[in-house]
Chain A
Amino acid sequence: MGEKFKALLDKHCVWLEDTVKRIDDNLILTKRDKASRSWAVGEALMLTHQITGTSGSMGFKEVSERAALLEKKLKPLEFSEGDDYSQDLEQSIELLRSLKTEADKVSPEGSSLYYVNLG
């Protein structure tokens, strides 16, 4: 029954790489297209929230923690464009780089669930 976890972990690693890329695409869009900012930040926020929850429950604690930091930075950007917007956006991009660094290291064997024996 440990195989069930392994199958999920394999799938999750693929999903994680794709989702980090989608967050990146949305933040790039945020910089380029002012009209789409709110929507793009909202998308990035939703995807980051998914990583925080799913990766954490999959046993990838570092990834989840970095996603939580990015989520916290993105939240105030979704509906407001205050004086610090550009600076906050740049900081979000830095946090995304940090998340990507951690996500790139992820493999099924790196999960705390990989060696769980359910049988």
Chain B
Amino acid sequence: MRSGILLFWLAEVGKETKVGLVNEDSIMSELKRISYTDDEPDIRAIAQIALEDIGGFEMQMCSGGRETVERVPVFQPDLILLDMMMPGMDGVQTFKALKAMPEIAEIPIIFMTAKVQSHEVASYMELGAAGVIPKPFDAITLAQDLQEIWQRHPARGAV
């Protein structure tokens, strides 16, 4: 209701022709495209089913940090999921590499990890992660869990 009143007032001042109530949620960006990285093929497979078939997202699946850094700027996801323990570039190294790229630095990143003691989670959040999903994850609720983190994240912004 508050957003609707504001829009109506602006329309009058700016000589806009559009008038009407706007639902606040509808002007926020939707979660549609997700990049998911895990070095284990079976985990990628189950996550892909969970997020494509159950969640309805458009997915990019990557098997390691280097591949993620190469493909994310092209795919331009709304959200990035990173496994923590991977050979070569681990989750933290991949996170830092992605955040160093201006064209994708604002994309929220969630860590997927079995290391979820409170001090560990605190360190990931301090690094700048948007959230942490514990592993093993629940394939049935994974899409919903991501939506909840997404809804809370400032990067959703307004379109």
Report if A and B associate in a common complex: yes
Interface residue? A15 (CB, 8 A)? yes
A52 to B85, CA, bound (A): 13
Contact between B46 and A1, CB atoms less than 8 A apart:
no
Assess the B42–A12 pair: CB atoms within 8 A. Answer: yes
Interface string of A56-88 (1 = CB under 8 A from B): 111100001000100000000000000000000
Asked whether A8 lies within 8 Å of B140 as measured between CB atoms, the reply is: no
Count residues of B near A (Cβ-Cβ below 8 Å).
17
Please, how many residues of chain A have a CB less than 8 angstroms from a CB on the other chain?
23
Min C-beta distance of B132 to chain A, whole Å: 14
Q: How far is the CB of B86 from chain A (nearest CB, A)?
A: 12
Q: Could you tell me if B140 and A11 are in contact, using CB atoms closer than 8 angstroms? A: no
Q: Please state if B46 and A58 are interface contacts (CB–CB under 8 Å).
A: yes
Question: Is A11 in contact with B42, judged by CB distance below 8 angstroms?
Answer: yes
- The chain A residues found within 8 Å of chain B, CB to CB, are 1, 4-5, 8, 11-12, 15, 49-50, 52-59, 64, 68, 112-113, 116, 118
